[in-house]
Amino acid sequence: MSAKIEYRCFVGGLAWATTDQILHEAFSQYGEIIDSKIIKDRETGRSRGFGFVTLDNEKAMRDAIEGMIGTDLDGRNITVT
Helix, coil or strand: residue 17: coil
Model pTM above 0.95? no
pLDDT tens for each residue of 40-50: 999 999 999 99
- Asked whether the beta carbons of 26 and 9 are under 8 A apart, the reply is no
CATH code for the domain defined by 7-80: 3.30.70.330
- When pLDDT is cut at 50, 70 and 90, the band that residue 1 belongs to is low
Domain-wise residue ranges, the chain: 7-80
Residue 62 has pLDDT above 80, yes or no: yes
